Each structure stands twice: as structure tokens, then as C-alpha cells.
Amino acid sequence: TEPLLRVKDLVKHFPIKGGVFQRQVDKVHAVDGVSFDIAQGETLGVVGESGCGKSTTGRCILRLIEPTAGEVWFEGKNVTAMGKDELRSLARDMQIIFQDPYASLNPRMTVGTIIGEALTIHKLTKDANEYRDRIAELLTLVGLSPDHMKRYPHEFSGGQRQRIGIARALAVNPKIVVCDEPVSALDVSVQAQVINLLEDLQDKLQLTYMFIAHDLSVVEHFSDRVAVMYLGKVAEIAPSTELYTNPLHPYTEALLSAVPIPDPTVKRQRIMLQGDVPSPIRPPTGCRFHTRCPIAQLPLCSHEEPALEEKAPGHWAACHLR
């Protein structure tokens, strides 16, 4: 069957301008040939350090930023080729929840107006009563009181604001939601509550998620499959239990080694990666991970780029040695 979402060879380069004439002098290779599918009802976790291109990928999928190359297909329609009108109706099917619930809600708008904006834009309610009822329903859905619609974002805690952001995204009955590190800015104590809410909503509303996180532990129990990104490329993608029990890419191994195991009898050797993530302006040649890879073989790894290959059924990795 056809996936709900298909991302094919997605590229996003940001130009860097300089000099008196502000000519392009360089570019940031934010996303450099990323491909994956997401099935209806599935959660794909996308994980990697900051600058790996995960957020940029999410934004390109929704066309919040324009991809440099590649294609995004949603329900058999080419999103990358859509004009303004088509994009507007696509916004009913694809929504995004942002990382920072403080920055993403307009402080001068009431919670009701924030949630109701999309109802107005897409003409989803026929009169003032229905409009108010729908906002009340959405607030209840995310575990807030309908009375909150008259209040302002600053009156709420971070976790509550993220619930408002979720209600806003759900107002249009989307099919797929890009969750861009929705809990990273929240206190650890509220992170699990928001994740549980997102899981409940997924079941209730048959949602499909692309769930972006910088930490493997956040997506572990929540994702059906996980994609690990490094410097604009997918290093590994696999069903999540497979990825956690049998990681193939040395970068995934290193990320996993930092995840605490609840069982104290199991010991995992912490793999410390050398150095920082290289600049995405001039990414390393060959395998982009070779400058930090504990098992890199030179010159092979510094000269030849490993292709993302299916090493076991459904388990893809980009490494010469695995």
C-alpha cells in the first residue's frame, strides 16, 4: 500500500551571503538527500544532534520553508509542486507542533482566538456558537478547561501552553502532525504528560506523527520506527525495537550508549564521541561521520560515501563496515 507521506531525496541548502554585494559565498548543507516513508497511523521518530537537519526536514515537508531539491508526496499528491491554493488546503491535513510553547503562541491573542484562527481561515464552523463549542471541545481534548479560552498565553505554564499549541494544531482535523521537539523546552516532570497526551490523541484521532527529538530515550517507547540523522543525512532507519536492540550504525550505537537503562543489572559501555559535530557548511568527505567514528577505516570512509542500504528487512543503515 501507498505510504501516507513519502519524502524523496530531499535537499535544503541555505545560502550564506557576504561582502559588499551580499553575494552567495557559501551554503549550509542542512538537509542533503533524505528519503523516508511514513505509513498511515504510524509514528516515525527522527533523532539527531542539533544541526543534523531534522527540524529543517519537518519544515520542508510542510513547505514552511522551500526545499532546494527533492520531492514530498502526501496521499499521492506532490506537495513540492503545489501552488498557493493547494498548499492552503494541505494545511488542513498537515500540521506542526513547535518546540517552544513560549514563542509560538501570540501573547496578544486569547487562547480561544489562537485555537480558533484556523477554524476561521478554513471556514470550519458555521456560526459563533459552533465556533465556541469547537474551541471548548478542543481544550477539553487536550486536558484543559473550556473556561481557558478567554485567557492569555502568559497565564499558563509551559506544559499548558504546549497543550494549547496541540489544540491549535488539531483544530483542522489534520491527518499528519509534525511534532518538532514538542517536549524539549519543558520541565522533565511534564514531558511524560505531554507525550502521553500525544499518544492518547493519536489513538483517538488516528493521527500519523513525525516526531522529532534530539534524544533517543524520548522516542523509544513512542515510535514505530526511528530514523537517526547526522549532518543532513539519514544514518540509520529501522523499526524502533530493532534499532534499540540491534543498532548497526556506529553513530546510533554512540547515541544509544548515552541512554540510561532502567535495569541496573544491565551494563552498557558509554561510547564517547570525539570532537564536535563538524560544520554543515563544509561537511566531511566520504562518510560524514568519519571524523568522529570509533571504527572508521581510512581511506575508505573518508573517500567513499556509504549508501543507505537495507541490511536486514526494514533495517537500513549507511555504513561501509556494517
Stretches 6-14, 188-196, 265-273, 282-290: which one binds ligand SF4 (CB under 6 A)? 282-290
Stretches 124-132, 172-180, 210-218, 289-297: which one binds ligand SF4 (CB under 6 A)? 289-297
- Shortest distance, CB of residue 306 to ligand SF4, whole angstroms? 4
Q: Is 307 near ligand SF4 (CB under 6 A)? A: no
Binding partner of residue 196 among ligand SF4, Mg ion, none, CB cut-off 5 to 8 Å per kind: none
Question: Do the beta carbons of residue 305 and residue 283 sit within 8 Å?
Answer: no
CA distances from 93 to 73, 75, 84, 138 (A): 13, 10, 15, 17
Q: Is 230 near ligand SF4 (CB under 6 A)? A: no
Candidates 43, 80, 95, 291; binder of Mg ion (CB under 5 A) is 43
Neighbours of 103 (CB within 10 A): 10
Neighbours of 172 (CB within 10 A): 17
Q: Are strands 225-230 and 94-97 parallel, antiparallel or unpaired?
A: unpaired
Q: Is 141 near ligand SF4 (CB under 6 A)? A: no
- Shortest distance, CB of residue 280 to ligand SF4, whole angstroms? 17
Q: Are strands 5-18 and 69-74 parallel, antiparallel or unpaired?
A: antiparallel
Between 30 and 166, name the residue whose CB sits nearer to Mg ion. 166
Q: What sign has the CA pseudo-torsion 109, 114, 120, 122?
A: positive
Q: Is 271 near ligand SF4 (CB under 6 A)? A: no
Question: Do the beta carbons of residue 80 and residue 60 sit within 8 Å?
Answer: no
Candidates 301, 308, 315, 316; binder of ligand SF4 (CB under 6 A) is 301
Q: What DSSP state is assigned to residue 144?
A: -
- 3-class SS at 93? coil
- Shortest distance, CB of residue 140 to ligand SF4, whole angstroms? 48
Which residues make up the interface to Mg ion (CB under 5 A)? 43
Chain positions contacting ligand SF4, by CB under 6 A: 249-250, 287, 289-290, 293, 295-297, 301, 306, 319-321
